[in-house]
Amino acid sequence: MAEPTTVKVRRDGTIALADNAGFGGGNTYTVAYENGDGSLSQPKADRIVIRDRGVIAGLRKGDDAVGSFSFSVHMRSFTDANITLIDALDFINGASGWTSSGGTGYEQKLLSAKITVEGTDHGDSTDHTATASKVLFEWTFDEGDPDVINVTGEIYGGTLTLTGQA
């Protein structure tokens, strides 16, 4: 099938977080009241330039790069009896039983994150997704009209998985 011709906009996207069990039935949190400013990057590995007396003769891969994931939401609650965004990010209160997606070798608690961009409603054969595993999230709070929670994440170890139409 050809590449879609419908340009996607922020109204077409959703962001979800999941613990180690993943998006197929584990603990998940779908972000609500977001600003539609999600950002995702997966830079290439560091480059080691091979030179022969100053002339570039080759290129080798160096250390893996750390990707990034960020978004912001309108603040509604820091925590409550149900799971809030901060509960999920910090594995506290209603999300205290969640398990890290990091596994062995990762001391910090990590989540998987997925951006889904609606496609089928626009004539595409499928929705489009970008899923990152092993994401360490942090958040900040800013007062304003409205108050905002800014979320930033660093993608460690796992790969970025992209899906689209075939």
Alpha-carbon distances, residue 98 vs 31, 61, 88, 139 (angstroms): 17, 35, 8, 18
Residue 1 has pLDDT above 70, yes or no: no
**Predicted confidence band at 98 (pLDDT cuts at 50, 70, 90)?**
very high
Per-residue pLDDT, 81: 84
Chain segment 113-149, per-residue pLDDT in tens: 999 999 999 988 899 999 999 999 999 999 999 999 9
**Mean local confidence (pLDDT), 1-29:** 89
With beta carbons less than 8 A apart as the criterion, state whether 38 and 12 touch.
no
